[in-house]
Amino acid sequence: MSILETWLAEAESWVGTPYVTEGCTKGFKGGSDCGHWFIKMILAVIPNSENVAFVMDISHVQYFKKNVSVVDKVMSPLAFQVTLKEIQPGDVVFLEYRRISSQPCIYVGDDHFIYCDTSMREMVKRPLPGNYIERIVHVFRFKCIAEEQ
């Protein structure tokens, strides 16, 4: 199985997981927030991600809240930015929330994303609502996935 296929399968396995602040366990009996599941996904699938995921984990709240450019610095060892028009399955978008870049969403194709929907209190797979599209501030593609294609 390719890294992309593994990445998308791992993302799918989080769908239905309840929203739990500071949680990081998948499944109906577990729970996660919008950042911790993403960190676990990176560690589970993306090669050589240990140092980047560690930095993300220890500063989970702080690294997003400083400013949008911090996301780029944290992601740049593993991924590069693309435009929304170039988006492909497996790409990650970050949404702005309260003036910070804080919510990762994984694009899975056909206008569907996997993300933590705090209003539904769970991880979902569906199109982003219109107001979410307007809040996209970054689109990243993992280097290891791009190299496979």
| pLDDT of 69 strictly over 80 | no
| pLDDT of 53 strictly over 60 | no
Q: Of 67-71, 94-98, 106-110, which has the strongest mean pLDDT?
A: 106-110
pTM equals 0.83
| pLDDT of 67 strictly over 60 | no
Q: What is the CATH number of the domain that holds 42?
A: 3.90.1720.10
- When divided into structural domains, the chain yields a total of 1
What DSSP string runs through 78-144?
A: TEEE--GGG--TT-EEEEEETTEEEEEEEEEETTEEEEEETTTTEEEEEPPPHHHHTTEEEEEEEHH
For residue 116, what are the domain limits? 3-148
